[in-house]
Amino acid sequence: MIEVGHFIGGKRVAGTSGRTADIMQPMDGSVRGKVALASREELRKAVENAKEAQIGWAATNPQRRVRVLMKFLDLVQNEYDELAEMLAREHGKTIPDAKGDIQRGLEVIEVCIGAPHLLKGEYTDGAGPGIDVYSLRQPLGVVAGITPFNFPAMIPLWKIGPAIAAGNSFILKPSERDPSVPMRIAELFIEAGLPAGVLNVVNGDKDVVDGILDDPDIKAVGFVGSTPIAQYIYSRATANGKRAQCFGGAKNHMIIMPDADMDQTVDALIGAGYGSAGERCMAISVAVPVGEETANRLVEKLIPRVEALKIGSSLDASADFGPVVTADALSRIKTYVDGGVKEGAKLVVDGRDFKMQGYENGYYMAGCLFDHVTPDMKIYKEEIFGPVLSVVRAKTYEDAIRLPNEHEYGNGVSIFTRDGDAARDFAARVQVGMVGVNVPIPVPIAYYTFGGWKASGFGDLNQHGPDAFRFYTKTKTVTSRWPSGIKDGAEFVIPTMN
């Protein structure tokens, strides 16, 4: 049994609140250990450490700051396998997929190595007589991140990297379901030379989240998780005068045009729909074939592929996907599937009764495929977050593009076609933040920004890429006049360029 406390002032500390939660191992349903749930006093301790450490860290020149990030990248390489196994055990995803989770986080750290350049301001020489104007990007101070269970390495790293590279100190509140990897990440940063207190981890639930939202010393909050919580965090954080960026749930469509290469499309759908048991915010959960003939060809090819998916334990590297995260999640997903059947969708592959031999207490189900789903159904409107793909048949391209455009969520979307005109029109008109053309999971590479539209994202700036540096810094503009001592007399009219 493991015991996970908090990471405050550069070291692991035991929880003192007396409240804990079980850390489960989804592959066999066993209790792996306990995680402490922080009290407001423990949060305060972390904030005080962070506040003090931030002064020296902000004064450290940016090139020295990023050397810590470089060293961190090296240290992770030495224990990639151990981290991936730890992640797989607590999340449920397979080890190769867990390695991808870590890698996509490291790619953002790699981009943060460019912080000295990314933090440069602007300069205008001679904006007026003897007048120069320049701008600075300064850190905010203490900032916080609240992250979801489904990417316990990637999403914390997306936030920690730019925040600390910009000279802030950071309080991470990871998901209480899989806290071990974020704790180890914090430890590795200290081993890499990060001063104690610059990165702290407080584990916990709503109580500590509310503490973060109300703490006057925390200047910004980055959140990733489900939409109702994203909305709640955005309103409470901004009402308290904080900067906030909050990313929520998703319902990602893939439009399949009649000219699409059907084998390529099916390969893409299988990976994007069922990889990680569908527990990705960029998973494709709705396939929209255009025209009856396209739909028939698609469904005919999809059925045997969904039936052949290999479900395995998190430690089975040959499995296509493993268990879902909790017993509650399993029952919620099955309830959605039951509801879809009741609403009249055609369940052409039913994975509800799958049992994993030797792991009967694990949280497994096989892939489900629905055909003839319509936009009024709950399985279409809501995020299921499981291995369930819905086919919504569209008569025309215009009917197809209307679906993602009118959907509440707007995280990712994709079109499969050989027609450049259609692809270009789609990319221009679709009301979704991240678009793939013959790419099923269009998670932008680390030097572009990541963020959904509509109910998938609240706040003005995206994650990673240049936006992350804007989010974690404030701009100061300096107008200076030299030499001093020029005497123009008092001026009562606002200065202009005339």
Q: Which residue number places its CB atom closest to ligand NAD?
A: 225
43 scored as a contact of ligand NAD (CB under 6 A): no
Q: Of 332 and 372, which CB lies nearer to ligand NAD in the complex structure?
A: 332
Q: What is the DSSP letter of 430?
A: -
The span of 30-38, 124-132, 204-212, 364-372 binding ligand NAD (CB under 6 A) equals 204-212
Q: Of 146 and 181, which CB lies nearer to ligand NAD in the complex structure?
A: 146
Of 5, 148, 322, 387, the one binding ligand NAD by CB under 6 A:
148
385 scored as a contact of ligand NAD (CB under 6 A): yes
Q: Of 411 and 417, which CB lies nearer to ligand NAD in the complex structure?
A: 411
Of 146, 188, 198, 413, the one binding ligand NAD by CB under 6 A:
146
The span of 63-71, 180-188, 225-233, 475-483 binding ligand NAD (CB under 6 A) equals 225-233
By C-alpha distance, which of 140, 139, 117, 142 is closest to 63?
A: 117
Spatial contact of 37 and 176, defined as CB atoms under 8 Å apart: yes
Q: What is the DSSP letter of 450?
A: B
Question: In sequence order, what DSSP letters do the residues of 69-108 get, joined into one string?
Answer: HHHHHHHHHHTHHHHHHHHHHHH---HHHHHHHHHHHHHH
Restricted to residues 62-81, the positions that interact with ligand NAD (CB under 6 A) are: none
The Cα 174–Cα 201 span in angstroms is 8
Task: Name residue 62's beta-bridge partners.
Answer: none
Q: Of 20 and 60, which CB lies nearer to ligand NAD in the complex structure?
A: 20
Task: Name residue 476's beta-bridge partners.
Answer: 136
Q: Of 248 and 323, which CB lies nearer to ligand NAD in the complex structure?
A: 248
The span of 70-78, 170-178, 332-340, 350-358 binding ligand NAD (CB under 6 A) equals 170-178
The span of 21-29, 47-55, 169-177, 392-400 binding ligand NAD (CB under 6 A) equals 169-177
- Tokens encoding 439: 């790419």
**Least distance from ligand NAD to the Cβ atom of residue 176, Å:** 5
250 scored as a contact of ligand NAD (CB under 6 A): yes
Question: In sequence order, what DSSP letters do the residues of 258-326 get, joined into one string?
Answer: TTS-HHHHHHHHHHHHHGGGG-STT-EEEEEEBSHHHHHHHHHHHHHHHHT--B--TT-TT-SB---S-
The Cα 105–Cα 155 span in angstroms is 7
Which residues, in sequence order, are CB contacts of 240 under 8 Å at separation 6+? Answer: 213, 214, 216
Q: Of 62 and 152, which CB lies nearer to ligand NAD in the complex structure?
A: 152
- Tokens encoding 493: 């009219």
Residues engaged in binding ligand NAD (CB under 6 A): 146-151, 173, 175-176, 205-206, 209, 224-226, 229, 247-250, 281, 383, 385, 411, 452, 456
